[in-house]
Amino acid sequence: MPEESIKLSEADKAILESYKTTVDGLAEYLGENYEIVLHSLENIDKSIIKIVNGFHTGRTEGGPITDLALSMLSKISSEKGKNFESYFSKNKKGESLKSSTIVIRGTSGKPIGLLCINFYLNASILSWVRSNTPPAQASDNATIKENFSKTTEELILKSFEETQMQITADNSILPSLKNKRIIEILNEKEIFKIKNSVTVIAKQMNISKNTVYLHLRSLKNTKKN
């Protein structure tokens, strides 16, 4: 790794810019005990282009790269085919961290930036629990459900079964409109973007594929109006 900063193309800059959303997403998911830092190697004196939870170190955007980050980059670069390094370290305050440095490569395949994640091991159990549990006032209905299926057909069937149970139990919907409502909800879940989903759903509902398509066209026309 050369000590001097490197010249980035516009495409390289766009790649780094796209990682800013990743930083925000990781920080929201992992919580306040993780410091997430995005470095650009274009100017190592002002390499930090995005940082969340920087209060741990007092760093802000425009700050320099660290010597350890450069050392990790050099180590990763020396190991052909490797793009990350995880390790334990201590900051200048003597606080223990578990860290990961991930190399971001540009259009030429050369390193253009680093994504660094630092977990503060001295974080209190209370703060960790607060970051990783739903709010006390959250109801079961407010909890987002996600199906982890082995095949797309299994995903379609699980989504259909959940939706069918929901609509069947809803007495405010007329029996003659329940099928239409099931198809509407499945459409909102984007299930019909999956190949062969219409065939699978039609079979489960004991209706023809044409009937499913008819309901889908009706929903599309309703949105247009």
Q: pLDDT tens digits for the chain (225 residues)?
A: 444 568 899 999 999 999 999 999 999 999 889 999 999 999 988 999 999 998 888 889 999 988 888 888 888 878 777 899 899 988 777 888 899 999 999 998 889 999 999 998 887 777 767 776 766 655 455 555 665 677 889 999 999 999 999 999 999 999 999 999 999 999 998 999 999 999 999 999 999 999 999 999 988 887 766
> What is the C-alpha to C-alpha distance for residues 50 and 30, in angstroms, rounded to an integer?
16
pLDDT at 2: 43
pLDDT at 1: 41
pLDDT at 3: 46
Under CATH, which architecture does the 10-132 domain have?
2-Layer Sandwich (3.30)
pLDDT at 147: 59
Domain segments of the chain as ranges: 10-132, 140-224
